[in-house]
Amino acid sequence: MTLVSPAPNDDTSAATPAADVAELGVLDEATTRTLAAYRQADVLEGLDSVSVLGPDGSQVRAPAPLGVVLISQTCDVVLPGRPAVQVARRIRLPTDEARDARDGKRPRYAHLARLGDREFADLDVIGTVAKAQVAACAHTHGVASDEEIRRFAGAVARKFGRFAFPDEVVPWLRPLEEVVSSKTRKPGSPEGKALAEVVELRVEAVNGWGSAPYELTLCVIVQPGTLPTFPDDDIPPLPEALGTWLHNAQGELQRSSGEIAARLENAADPADRYWLWMALGEAWEGRCRPGSNASEVVRGAVADLVAEVVPADEFPLSRVRRSEVLDLDHLSQPTPNLT
Residues 5-55 have pLDDT tens digits of 445 555 555 676 766 656 666 678 888 899 999 999 999 998 999 988 888
Contact 189, 179 (CB under 8 A): no
In this prediction, residue 301 carries a pLDDT of 96
Q: Give the whole-angstrom CA distance, residue 111 versus residue 103.
A: 9
Residue 66 has pLDDT above 80, yes or no: yes
pLDDT over threshold 90, residue 269: yes
Predicted local confidence at residue 326, as pLDDT? 87
Per-residue pLDDT, averaged over 139-154, amounts to: 94
Question: For residue range 176-200, what is the model confidence (pLDDT) as tens digits?
Answer: 988 888 887 788 999 999 999 999 8
Selection from 326, 317, 314, 265 nearest residue 100 by Cα = 326
Residues 113-140, mean pLDDT to the nearest whole number: 94
Nearest to 109 by CA among 164, 194, 94, 320: 94
Of the listed ranges 132-141, 169-178, 182-191, the least confidently predicted one is: 182-191
Q: Distance (Å, rounded) from C-alpha 40 to C-alpha 111?
A: 12
Whether residue 148 is predicted with pLDDT greater than 90 in this model: the reply is: yes
The Cα–Cα gap between 260 and 283 comes to: 8
pLDDT band for position 276 (cuts 50, 70, 90): very high
DSSP bridge pairs for 68: 44, 89
Mean pLDDT (the chain, rounded): 88
Q: How far apart are CA 237 and CA 150, in angstroms?
A: 40
Residue 239 CA, distance from chain mean position:
37
Query: Which segment of 14-18, 71-75, 329-333 scores lowest on mean pLDDT?
Result: 329-333
Q: What is the percent of the chain with per-residue pLDDT over 70, rounded to a whole number?
A: 89
pLDDT interval class at 208 (50, 70, 90): very high
pLDDT computed for residue 21 by the predictor: 59
Judge whether 221 and 150 are in contact, CB under 8 Å: no
What residue segments make up the domains of the chain, in order of their start?
21-161, 170-331
The better pLDDT of the pair 44, 104 is held by 44
Least confident of 38-42, 162-166, 319-323: 162-166
What is the structure's pLDDT at 163?
84
Q: Which residues contact 281 (CB under 8 A, 6 or more apart)?
A: 218, 220, 307, 308, 309
Q: What is the pTM of this model?
A: 0.70
Most confident of 11-15, 68-72, 129-133: 68-72
The answer, yes or no, to whether residue 108 has pLDDT greater than 70, is: yes
Spell out a b/e string for 114-134, using b for 16 or more CB atoms within 10 Å of the CB, else e: bbeebbbbbbbbbbebbbbbb
